[in-house]
């Protein structure tokens, strides 16, 4: 007999870049655990997360447990030409859907860069709560993200809140796994 997980007690907080910097090790450990990456990935990703905090429109939301531990984290910023992810996705959209579709989706968008829930806290609505809190007040007309292909809780969340396929089985430079690029109009 399987029992449902007990509800997690958490509150949502907007983190400033300074606040996330002080908790970066904890946030990155949550990230690698949720993604199933080796712990050594923390050191590789830290400089990228730090540089993302400097981008226009950057914002971050975390779910914090009673004990103060991070249970979930999400962040993103305004996408723009010249950013690595923007250029990768634009190239894919042009190849698959043409320049007009690329122009439509890759203008005035918020890149949902990271959204992760600690595995022992998944399946209880934290991901959706963090996503909705993070998107509340975003001034861009759309939100875009990429996620590894496969039937996961993340996929169910993105479908439930109305994300549509922009690219499927897309290969980003430097990662052998296929990804989907998803998007939707804002507000959620």
Per-residue model confidence as pLDDT tens digits over 59-115: 999 999 999 999 999 999 999 999 999 999 999 999 999 999 999 999 999 999 999
Confidence at residue 9, expressed as pLDDT on a 0 to 100 scale: 84
10-15 and 164-170 beta bridge pairing: unpaired
Per the listing, tokens 């908790």 go with 23
Averaged pLDDT score across all residues of the chain? 94
Return the minimum-mean-pLDDT range out of 51-55, 73-77, 89-93, 175-179.
Answer: 175-179
Confidence at residue 5, expressed as pLDDT on a 0 to 100 scale: 45
Give the residues across from 34 on adjacent strands: none
Q: What are the pLDDT digits (tens) for 121-169?
A: 999 999 999 999 999 999 999 999 999 998 999 999 999 999 999 999 9
Provide the terminal-to-terminal Cα distance of the chain, rounded to the nearest Å.
36
Both tokens of 43, joined, read 């050191």
Above 90 in pLDDT, residue 117? yes
**Domains, the chain, with CATH or none:** 10-185 (3.40.630.30)
Which positions are catalytic? Answer: 158
Give the residues across from 165 on adjacent strands: 182
Confidence at residue 4, expressed as pLDDT on a 0 to 100 scale: 41
- 10 Å CB burial of residue 70 (0-12, 13-18, 19+) is buried
Exposure string of 95-115, with b = 16+ CB inside 10 Å and e = fewer, is: eeeeeeebebbbeebbbbbbb
* Angle at alpha carbon of residue 152, lines to 173 and 86, rounded to 5°: 30
Confidence at residue 8, expressed as pLDDT on a 0 to 100 scale: 67
Confidence at residue 179, expressed as pLDDT on a 0 to 100 scale: 96
Bigger pLDDT: 72 vs 36 = 72
- Rounded CA-CA distance 48/133 in Å is 23
Band of pLDDT at residue 175, cut at 50, 70 and 90: confident
* Sheet with strand 109-117: strands edge to edge: 10-15, 59-65, 70-78, 109-117, 142-148, 179-185, 164-170
- 10 Å CB burial of residue 57 (0-12, 13-18, 19+) is middle
Above 80 in pLDDT, residue 7? no
């Amino acid at each position: 007999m399987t029992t449902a997980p007990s509800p997690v007690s958490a509150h949502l907080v907007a983190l400033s870049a300074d606040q996330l910097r002080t908790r970066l090790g904890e946030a990155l450990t949550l990230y690698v655990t949720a993604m199933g990456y080796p712990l050594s990935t923390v050191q590789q990703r830290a400089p990228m997360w730090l540089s993302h905090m400097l981008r226009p429109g950057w914002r971050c939301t975390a779910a914090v447990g009673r004990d103060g531990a991070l249970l979930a984290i999400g962040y993103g910023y305004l996408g723009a030409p010249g950013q690595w992810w923007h250029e990768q996705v634009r190239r894919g959209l042009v190849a698959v859907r043409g320049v007009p579709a690329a122009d439509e989706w890759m203008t005035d968008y918020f890149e949902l860069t990271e959204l992760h829930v600690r595995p022992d806290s998944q399946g209880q609505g934290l991901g959706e709560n963090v996503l909705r809190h993070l998107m509340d007040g975003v001034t861009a007309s759309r939100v875009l993200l990429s996620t590894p292909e496969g039937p996961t809780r993340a996929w169910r969340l993105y479908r439930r809140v109305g994300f549509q396929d922009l690219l499927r089985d897309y290969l980003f430079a430097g990662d052998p796994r296929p990804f989907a690029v998803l998007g939707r109009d804002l507000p959620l």
